Amino acid sequence: MREIQFPYGRGHLTCALEEERLNDVLLSGVESYVPEHDQQELVRLALENPVGQPRLSKLAEGKKNIVVITSDHTRPVPSKITLPLLLEEIRRGAPQADVTILVATGCHRSMTEAEQLDKFGEEVCRREKIVVHDCDDAENLTDIGQLPSGGRCIVNRLAVEADLLVAEGFIEPHFFAGFSGGRKAVLPGVAGRATVLENHCSRHIAHEKARTGILEGNPIHEDMVWAARRAGLAFILNVVLNAEKKIIFAVAGDMEKAHARGCDFLSRICRVSGKASDIVITTNGGYPLDQNVYQSPKGMTAAETVVRDGGVIIMLASSSDGVGGEAFYHQLADEADINRTMAMFLSREPAQTVPDQWQTQILLRILKKASVIYVSELPDETIRALHMTPAHSLQEALKLACERLGNPNASITAIPDGVSVVTTLKE
């Protein structure tokens, strides 16, 4: 037997799996990577040695209105570490500048004061001006042009009107943008709802290049880069995290060049290959990405690659914050035929995209290949309404999976952190 831990909420679920049934345990190299410096020093060195740009303190000289975009509560960016160092570097060059921290919520709900305190720390919350982006606040949005794919690029006015626009974030494999970080701070981070919807349209989501670990030729990525450049994103600080959400790598500088360096680093250690299996167990890496069902397709896409057609994906996601989107719920729950829903999405023009459609589309794509057993804290009827089978423990999920397959010895692949890997299928 082999005992494997899977992140779940703020803890773990543990399961002993029979070696003879276990095809692969797919782990990102981030788990074994040992950085040369501690977290603060990695960030400090990145800021002191930017890629493709002068130091941020130099860029900040003479600037009076500086905006720093940061991630919201749904992203594990360790802002208690990164933000103070970033602000320190800015004020080294512009001690009198008016600095605004703009929270990139995309189309997510706003952050509560408690969530801000938890994420940014008491010192930042007490001393800094924090504005939470609202994608529907027309008065604070402005149109900056046409995206390469054709949609209008509407973003937060604070970002566009800044003398210097800076962003912090983290880089991980992303299930349709290739990798997170960099340009995503602007689109979708501080973009208007209409722009996010067009960028996430069904045509883009269905594109063969809109997949985990792919940037070149990815239309979603290309729109994001254009938006960030047009908005004036001059400097980024991005980090790579391990499963404990600790920084193992940091890069700073030009929005494209620094991001590319971070993606290159991560790509070298996160690509894994596995055999096709009857059952694939995956997660969203625990809190915060597993706090709702809406985010769960991210971890499922890692399993999608290595589960056989007609197999079973076991998704472990505590979902302590519920489903995570009213539109997402009804897109799934209100139609019994998933093929009909998919056809409806694919027939829509980009401008007709509706909220949460992309997440639903990806989940439907997965469900067309494999059934999903969902382990969470949610009521059974909620999970069933979303075309998945509920379970309340990993052991129960495995029993259900074997019964569904009619095979008590069904092969298994374990992916302890589905959002940390780029999976490929072994020949």
Residues labelled as active-site residues: 108, 174
- The residue written with tokens 């919807």 in the block is 197
Q: What are the backbone angles phi and psi of residue 37, rounded to the nearest 5°?
A: -135, 165
Q: How far apart are CA 11 and CA 122, in angstroms?
A: 25
Paired tokens of 339: 């093929």
Question: What is the C-alpha separation between 167 and 251, in angstroms, rounded?
Answer: 12
Q: Tell me the two tokens of residue 109.
A: 């709900």
H or E stretch including 32?
Answer: none
DSSP states of 201-241 = -HHHHTSTT-STT--TT-HHHHHHHHHHHHHTEEEEEEEEE
Residue 74 vs residues 111, 286, 291: alpha-carbon distances, Å: 9, 11, 8
Helix (H) or strand (E) holding 394: helix 394-405
Three-class SS state of 276:
coil
Question: How far is it, in rounded angstroms, from Cα 210 to Cα 221?
Answer: 8
Q: Which residues of 171-198 are buried (b: 16+ CB within 10 A; e: fewer)?
A: bbbbbbbbbbbbbbbbbbbbbbbbbbbb
Q: Tell me the C-alpha distance between 146 and 266, whole Å.
A: 31
Three-class HEC string of 302-340: HHHHHEEEEEEEEEECCCCCCCCCHHHHHHHHCCCCHHH
DSSP-assigned beta bridge partners for residue 272: 423
Task: Read off the tokens for 370.
Answer: 């494999």
Strand runs labelled E in 205-361: 233-241, 247-253, 271-274, 277-283, 307-316
